[in-house]
């Protein structure tokens, strides 16, 4: 098991077991129709992340593959990407629930935005990393041929990579989108199912 997943599972478990009451509150929020609003926000942010992540990722990959980044920077990017790959959404949602249980006006009003900001960052981070990896595979001889004609890096990113690797790029987008969508649904279901079982068990005892 990769270490970020392990850590996030432990974190998730700890939050889950220590905040049963907050989960109940969270469900009541969902039931009151907040799910739709949050869902719409999530989709909007995810789309924004999608739009921003690809060109930025390609440019990041460009500077990476051209050797402008040192090994230390690559490691830092790797760490950041792993950090972004944590299942932040459920963690943040549960933290929100925990804070709500304390009835803090400040957190109640700001946390929904925070939750989906985190989700957006995670989406962005993943797409950036994936597209930069894709670009780093672009052959240097081809890139040089473009450069020799005066094509700038961003033009190479937008035309060159698109023309040369569009099928692979579409594949990356579709796969990443599917994965994110499935994860989103998975965590939402888990957040709804687990607490309801908890409530049922608590209710019968």
Query: Residue 28 or residue 68: which is nearer to other proteins going by CB?
Result: 68
Contact by Cβ (8 Å): 54, 127: yes
In whole angstroms, how close is the CB of 53 to other proteins at the nearest point? 25
Contact 118, 111 (CB under 8 A): no
Q: For the window 96-135, what string marks contact with other proteins as x by the rule CB under 8 A?
A: ----------------------------------------
Please state at what angle helix 20-29 crosses helix 161-204, rounded to 10 degrees.
110
When binding is defined by CB under 8 A, the residue of 109, 148, 167, 201 that contacts other proteins is: 148
**Sign of the CA dihedral with 182 first, then 188, 194, and 200 last:** negative
**Min. distance of Cβ 147 from other proteins in angstroms?**
6
* Type and span of the H or E element at 153: helix 153-155
What tokens does 103 get?
Answer: 């009835």
Residue 56 CA, distance from chain mean position: 15
Return the residue matching tokens 């009541």: 28
Structure tokens at 187: 């965590």
The single residue among 150, 203, 204, 205 that binds other proteins, judged by CB under 8 A, is 150
Site string for other proteins, 41-70 (x = CB under 8 A): -------------------------xxx--
Identify the residue among 24, 108, 164, 198 touching other proteins (CB under 8 A).
164
As measured in angstroms, the least distance from the Cβ of 148 to other proteins is 4
Question: What angle (nearest 5°) sits at the alpha carbon of residue 201, between those of residues 199 and 204?
Answer: 105
Segment interacting with other proteins, rule: CB under 8 A, options 8-16, 28-36, 86-94, 140-148: 140-148
Selection from 130, 151, 105 nearest residue 53 by Cα: 130
The nearer residue to other proteins, 120 or 146, going by C-beta atoms, is 146
Tell whether residue 77 is a contact of other proteins (CB under 8 A): no
Contacts of 170 by beta carbon, 8 Å cutoff, 6+ apart? none
Tokens matching residue 23: 């989960």
Choose which of 21, 152, 196, 200 interacts with other proteins (CB under 8 A): 152
Residue 155 contacts other proteins per CB under 8 A: yes
User: Nearest distance from residue 150's CB to other proteins, in Å?
Assistant: 3
What residues line the site for other proteins (CB under 8 A)?
A: 66-68, 141-142, 144-152, 155, 163-164
């Amino acid at each position: 098991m990769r270490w970020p997943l392990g850590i996030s599972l432990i974190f998730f478990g700890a939050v889950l077991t220590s905040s049963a009451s907050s989960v109940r509150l969270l469900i009541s929020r969902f039931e009151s129709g907040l799910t739709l609003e949050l869902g719409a926000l999530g989709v909007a942010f995810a789309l924004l992340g999608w739009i921003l992540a690809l060109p930025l990722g390609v440019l990041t990959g460009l500077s990476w593959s051209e050797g402008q980044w040192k090994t230390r920077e690559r490691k830092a990017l790797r760490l950041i990407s792993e950090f972004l790959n944590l299942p932040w959404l459920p963690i943040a949602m549960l933290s929100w629930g925990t804070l709500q249980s304390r009835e803090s006006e400040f957190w109640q009003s700001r946390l929904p935005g925070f939750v989906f900001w985190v989700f957006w960052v995670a989406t962005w981070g993943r797409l950036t990393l994936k597209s930069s990896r894709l670009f780093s595979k672009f052959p240097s001889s081809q890139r040089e041929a473009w450069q020799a004609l005066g094509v700038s890096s961003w033009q190479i990113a937008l035309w060159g990579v698109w023309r040369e690797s569009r099928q692979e790029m579409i594949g990356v987008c579709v796969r990443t989108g599917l994965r994110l969508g499935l994860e989103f649904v998975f965590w939402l279901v888990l957040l709804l199912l687990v607490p309801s079982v908890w409530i049922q068990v608590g209710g019968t005892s």
